[in-house]
């Protein structure tokens, strides 16, 4: 007679995959929680860099142009020192990572 075919079973069901995928953002947020200040500092520094590039006329991208126009219209010539201060604050927040590291990132 004929041989019985063995059917392969999936390692996870659709419900298990959905549950695992739903936990991914929470797991990432929990992993990065000790580094909130450093991440905020990096974002502030990048924001300041984008605005300064536009204020200096070195960038014509849509986002830097919009940010530069907004800061220029809000602060006028004061936008330059304010943005430099924003970048300095970002660097200060990022430098705290090198002073004390709460826990190594799991690899």
> Which pLDDT belongs to residue 61?
85
List the chain residues with pLDDT less than 50: none
In angstroms, the CA 24 to CA 28 distance is 6
**Per-residue pLDDT at 28:** 79
Are the C-beta atoms of residues 90 and 48 closer than 8 Å to each other?
yes
pTM, entire model: 0.65
Between the two ends of the chain, the Cα-to-Cα distance in Å is: 53
């Amino acid at each position: 007679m004929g041989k019985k075919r063995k059917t392969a079973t999936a390692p996870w069901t659709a419900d298990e995959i959905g549950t695992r995928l739903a936990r991914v953002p929470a797991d990432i947020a929990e992993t990065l929680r000790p580094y909130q200040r450093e991440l905020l500092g990096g974002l502030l520094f990048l924001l300041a860099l984008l605005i300064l590039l536009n204020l200096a006329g070195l960038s014509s991208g849509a986002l830097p142009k919009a940010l530069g126009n907004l800061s220029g219209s809000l602060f006028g010539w004061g936008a330059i020192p304010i943005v430099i201060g924003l970048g300095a604050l970002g660097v200060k927040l990022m430098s705290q990572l090198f002073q004390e590291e709460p826990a190594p990132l799991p690899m």
